[in-house]
C-alpha cells in the first residue's frame, strides 16, 4: 500500500517527534491533540528546532519539514490519512476509545500504528470493527536519535505489517519485527527489568551509588535516572499495567513502592518537576558523588534474564533482542553480549543469590 498522507494523535514528547520524522520523509502530517497548548508547544519546537534535531539524529533534512505538518484538535483532520500513529498517554481505556473514534473517521483500509509501551496492539484494537489494521509501531525515546521502530501484531494483516515496515523505512528508522506481541514489546520489557532490579538494589545502596555503578559499567544513563526521565508516576502506572500479565515480576520492593508513591504525592515526579530520585537542572540530572559505587551485576543479570524470557516467549531470536537493545539505547552492547562478557554461569549464580536474599521475582533465573 502506498502511503501518502499520515496522521499522529497526541502531540506530546513522542508524537511531536514522530510527526517531525514523518514530515521529513515528505509525508503530509495531520497532528491532532485534545490540548491546544500541547499543539502550540509542538509547533514551537517544530518551527524553531526540528531541522536541527533531525540533523543531530543523523538524518538528512529535506526542505522545511515543519511546513508539512497541520495542527488541530479535531480527529476529522485525519480523514485522508493512510497511516495514523497514536501517541496518547498510556491508558488502555483512552487508547481503546481513541481507536474506536478513529475508525469512524479514517478510511477502511487505513492502518493504525500504536506507540504503546506497555500494552499490545490487540489490547488497543479490542473494540474495533477492523482490529486487523492495528500494528505496534513503537519508537524508542528520543525518537529522533534512536534508530528503531518495533513492529508487531498477532492479528494484523500482512498488508498492515508491511505498511508499517514501509513507513518506518521511509522515515529512516529501522523496523524490527517482533514475532509475537506481548505487553511491553521487546525494548520496554528489557528496560522494565533493569529499572525494577535497580529499585531492588536500593535495599542495598543509595540511588546515586546504583546509578554511578551502572554508568561505570557502560550505561549511558543509570536506571533510576531513566525512571526520573519518564516520571515516577508513569513508571508506577506501567508497573501496574504489566502486573495484569506478568504478576509482580517488574514491581519494586514494597517499601520503595511506598517511598516512590510519597514522592509522587509530594510532586517529586522526576525530570518534569525538577526532582525525583535525583535533582534536575533543566536537562541535566544532578547525581551526587556516592561514597562507593554499587556493584550492579544483579541489574545486568536481570537484563540478561529478561532477554532469555523474550527468546523463550518467541518474541525474537538472540540476535534480534541484542539489536533491539543496541538501537533502543544508542549503545553497542546487547544483553547476549553482556552474557558473553560476564559468563552465563556467573550471572545465573548472581540471580540465584539475589533471589534468595530478596525473594524478588525479577531475579528468578530462567536460564
The binding site for ligand NAD (CB under 6 A) comprises: 9-15, 32-35, 38, 87-90, 94, 98, 115-117, 138-139, 141, 230
Cα 342 to chain centroid, rounded: 27
Q: Is the CB of 184 or the CB of 307 nearer to ligand NAD?
A: 184
Rank residues 192 and 205 by Cβ distance to ligand NAD and give the closer one.
192
Q: How far is the CB of 330 from ligand NAD (least distance, A)?
A: 13
Q: Is 314 exposed, middle or buried (0-12, 13-18, 19+ CB in 10 A)?
A: exposed
* Cα maximum dimension of the chain: 61
C-beta of 33 vs 181, nearer to ligand NAD = 33
Task: Report how far residue 14's alpha carbon sits from residue 97's, in angstroms, rounded to the nearest whole number.
Answer: 20
Cβ at position 221, least distance to ligand NAD in Å: 12
Nearer to ligand NAD, 131 or 270 (CB): 270
The least distance separating ligand NAD from the CB of residue 329, rounded to whole angstroms, comes to: 12
CB of 350 to ligand NAD, least distance (A): 28
CB of 143 to ligand NAD, least distance (A): 8
DSSP assignments along 177-216, one per residue:
E-SS--TTTTHHHHHHHHHHHHHHHTTTS-HHHHHHHHHH
- What is the closest distance, in whole angstroms, from the C-beta atom of residue 341 to ligand NAD in the complex? 27
Place of cell 513492529: 151
- Our CB check for ligand NAD shows the closer of 115 and 163 to be 115
Q: Which residue is nearest to ligand NAD (CB)?
A: 12
Distance CA 257, CA 241 (A): 15
Number of DSSP helices (H) and strands (E) in the chain, helices first = 14, 10
Q: 162 and 306 in contact (C-beta within 8 Å)?
A: no
Minimum CB distance to ligand NAD smaller for 123 or for 322: 123
Contacts of 230 (CB under 8 A, 6+ apart): 141, 238, 270
Amino acid at each position: 500500500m502506498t502511503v501518502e498522507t499520515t496522521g499522529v494523535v497526541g502531540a506530546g514528547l513522542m508524537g511531536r517527534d514522530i510527526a517531525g520524522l514523518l514530515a521529513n520523509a515528505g509525508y503530509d502530517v495531520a497532528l491532532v491533540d485534545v490540548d491546544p497548548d500541547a499543539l502550540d508547544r509542538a509547533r514551537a519546537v517544530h518551527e524553531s528546532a526540528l531541522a536541527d534535531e533531525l540533523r543531530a539524529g543523523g538524518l538528512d533534512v529535506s526542505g522545511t519539514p515543519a511546513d508539512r505538518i497541520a495542527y488541530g484538535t479535531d480527529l476529522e483532520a485525519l480523514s485522508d490519512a493512510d497511516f495514523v500513529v497514536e501517541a496518547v498517554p498510556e491508558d488502555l481505556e483512552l487508547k481503546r476509545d481513541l481507536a474506536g473514534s478513529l475508525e469512524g473517521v479514517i478510511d477502511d483500509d487505513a492502518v493504525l500504528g500504536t506507540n504503546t509501551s506497555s500494552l499490545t496492539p490487540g489490547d488497543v484494537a479490542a473494540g474495533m470493527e477492523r482490529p486487523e489494521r492495528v500494528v505496534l509501531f513503537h519508537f524508542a525515546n528520543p525518537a529522533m536519535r534512536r534508530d528503531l521502530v518495533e513492529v508487531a501484531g498477532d492479528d494484523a494483516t500482512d498488508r498492515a505489517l508491511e505498511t508499517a515496515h514501509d513507513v518506518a523505512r521511509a522515515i529512516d528508522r529501522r523496523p524490527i519485527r517482533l514475532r509475537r506481541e506481548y505487553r511491553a514489546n521487546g525494548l520496554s520489557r528489557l528496560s522494565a527489568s533493569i529499572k525494577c532490579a535497580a529499585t531492588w538494589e536500593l535495599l542495598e545502596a543509595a540511588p546515586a551509588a546504583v546509578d554511578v555503578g551502572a554508568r561505570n559499567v557502560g550505561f549511558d544513563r543509570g536506571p533510576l535516572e531513566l525512571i526520573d526521565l519518564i516520571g515516577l508516576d508513569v513508571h508506577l502506572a506501567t508497573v501496574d499495567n504489566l502486573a495484569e500479565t506478568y504478576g509482580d515480576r517488574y514491581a519494586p520492593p514494597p517499601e520503595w513502592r511506598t517511598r516512590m508513591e510519597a514522592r509522587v504525592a509530594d510532586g517529586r515526579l522526576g525530570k518534569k518537576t525538577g526532582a525525583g530520585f535525583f535533582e534536575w537542572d533543566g536537562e541535566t540530572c544532578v547525581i551526587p558523588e556516592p561514597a562507593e559505587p554499587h556493584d550492579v551485576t544483579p541489574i545486568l543479570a536481570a537484563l540478561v534474564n529478561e532477554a532469555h524470557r523474550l527468546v523463550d516467549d518467541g518474541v525474537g531470536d538472540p540476535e534480534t533482542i541484542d539489536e533491539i537493545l543496541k538501537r533502543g539505547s544508542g549503545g553497542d552492547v546487547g544483553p547476549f553480549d553482556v552474557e558473553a562478557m560476564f559468563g552465563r554461569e556467573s550471572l545465573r549464580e548472581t540471580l540465584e543469590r539475589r533471589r534468595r536474599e530478596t525473594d524478588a521475582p525479577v531475579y528468578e533465573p530462567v536460564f
